Structure 1
Amino acid sequence: MTLQSRTPSPFRAPSRRNVVRGALGVGAAALAAPVLTACGGGPAADPKTVTFGSNGADATPKKAYAGVTGAFTKDSGLKVKTNTVDHDTFQKSISNYLQGTPDDVFTWFAGYRMQFFAKKGLAHPVDDVWDKIGSGFSDAAKQLSKGQDGKYYFVPLYNYPWAVFYRKSVFQERGYQPPATWSAFTALAKQMKKDGLSPIASGYGGGDSWSILGAFDYLNLRANGYDFHMSLMRGEVSWTDKRTSRTLDLWREIAPYYQEGAGGRSWQDAAQSLLDKKSGMAVIGLFLGQQVTDESLRDDIDFFPFPTIDPSFGQDTVEAPTDGFMLSRKPKNLDGSNKLLEFLGSAKAENLYMGVDPSNVAVNSGADTSKYNALQKKSAELISSAKHITQFADRDSDPGFISTVVLPGLTQWLGHPDDGSALLKKIESQRSRFFTA
């Protein structure tokens, strides 16, 4: 397994599906009384203890976090009191949790998701931590860890890229070459269809509608660039902008090459069709590898970056959802919390975590990659070479807007793609409900 599992476990599957479902917009504070509560004490909390709120309830991440916090205790002499809650509950309760008496340090997501709580004053800046760990991270990782005020609020642990995956043997047998440009990509899809393959594996049925966002993001990023894409995600520009129309025009070009019946298929079934050589390509995350149990088959999987559309933007942006840690607004043990975050941001901590849970890619440039499989190594190279890193639409935008407006519209449109003007007008009519100046 190479990345976050999409099976129905309390930690892994919700990392995508429940990010969409757990709408944490302005209305999130209206959630019912949270199950997630702090495990720390009151004002007289033990100065030798740091409390840690974790969403890693599944056996593997729970064991990995225990190993990391245990090593920190051994190095620092500080005890870490961990409050573990299942991933879904953690996300649905976090707004109330942070407004109550949260743990000192807690697990969360980079980018917009972090910035939302930082802007609300529900997180403490960690610039002092970054003064010590900054040399271990790329500029793109630093960018993802800053709030809108320019201060740091996040310490990354791992990420994983989205790309276009394929089987090496299929390409070799049929003489296909990984395309670098849009024209080559569409030509390859056309040839695959002629050869009797489903060119692009796809499954967005039921709770898997989130999976189409990878294609939308990359089309928009490659055609219009990082700045426009992020402005669109943050509600700063109109969805009826001609650049968004251009994104749908491009999507309509490849829609005929999508696997038939995608709206009634899970992403796992779509991924399996790629592994079974019934489909030629899949726009998906590295978690595709969870479908593989035979290591010889894993060795036959490869990927290429989503192709260039506008040469001025090239392939400078990579979708790589990033998970890590934040500091609550009033930590009971600020000094100890900063020390824990410094450790969590170290190559040593990432090595310890990946040693237990090798389903992700370490973010710290000093992490040991010698035990990575080929896909992990290539993933790390792809991410480290990126000028910009995006988090996926449901993490870079208001999740309520994505889950209740954008996703239903895009999935319906993808079933019968037209010029998209009606869809974009409908999405635009709802933008002001979620974003204010």
Structure 2
Amino acid sequence: MSTAAKITAPKGTVDILPAEAAKWQTVERIARETAAVFNFGEIRTPIFEHTELFHRGVGEGSDVVSKETYTFNDRGVPPTSVTLRPEGTAGVVRAAIENGLLNDQGARSKVYYIGPNFRYERPQKGRLRQHHQFGAEAFGVAEPDQDVECILLQMEFYRRCGVRDLELQVNSLGDRESKARYRDALVAYLSPKKDALSEDSQRRLEANPLRILDSKDPRDQEACKGAPPAAESLSDKSRAHFDRVQKLLTASAVPFRVNPNLVRGFDYYTETLWEVTAGGLGAQNAIGGGGRYDNLVEQLGGRPTPGVGFGSGLERLLLALEGQGVTLPLPPKKLVWLIAHGDAARDHNWKLLGDLRQAGVVADMDASGRSVKAQFKQADREQATHCIVVGEDELASGTVKLKDSATRTEVSVPRADVVQKLS
């Protein structure tokens, strides 16, 4: 036995084993199919970017940038600071600018992505240091109709996955000027209560006061009672935008609730914000959210281009499904296991195994030369739906025995026909 110490996975990460991976594959397939129906194309960006991207995009004052990023220098001379992506939007915007997707006046682009993000925070159930998101971003349309299309895509994804007990909450921070007015009003309201705030929110009061509204600390929640709502600071244009969002959601038969305290953790959000919660998750019940970011493309060096999008945590989604007792529609497993009586049959089965796989049949066999009894036991452990048995008699007659594992029935099939019969 080895005396070497075991190496474990880093804190806040988990291994997705084959039994669980099937659920992930199903959720990812549903995400891709839903995005395609809404005419969103897939984009894949690097998992690390230049650190400046997140400082300029997400914001210096956000908790993500100030506390949670995995940032390090690469091996270049001089070294360059890079950061594992903490969220998907900034990288997608960078890719859209760099690759000319938004160069032309009036250009539109609708993309989605599926992949891991990284944040150094206290691991919780469904909130890991490496977590995975399905997200979508739409560029080039400033109208509230585009906000609602993104919301509908997100809600349709959840519907197809079978999530129940969903609540959509919406709010508006307004345009750049409205958001600035709201920030000033909030600072004016909370400044006299600064000593009553948590240590984090005392810092946020200067750097990112809107985040105080999202705090779970009871001291902050008490201090925020009676705070002016964002709606009081909205310009006429922003108010009309948000009214249109609500009208379209109602026309689309999507229930929602206006939550005046709803904010998002990133500085780039303007106008419409939303968050979706689900039953089965306890107090931390958010499974995804999004919003509009009309200034971000310009902020990252591109042509002024409106944008809107969302991100949905896949770990949270799977936990919600589990908590609600929802079974994902996994594809039925059909596995054919080849059993060999003797070395000659084993050689025969290697050729048959290749023929089955080329025909698209999921097939396997024991590669260690174990006894027939052990081969059958392995087929049971692997939950094979059929067994093909070959021995001296089958080799002589050019047949195989095909056994149905569920019914335990067995028939003799010509070797030349068995591949077609199982395809």
| TM-score (norm. length: structure 1) | 0.21
Kindly indicate which of the two structures has a greater share of residues assigned to strand: 2
| TM-score (norm. length: structure 2) | 0.21
Kindly indicate which of the two structures has a greater share of residues assigned to helix: 1
Specify the structure having the higher radius of gyration (Cα). Answer: 2
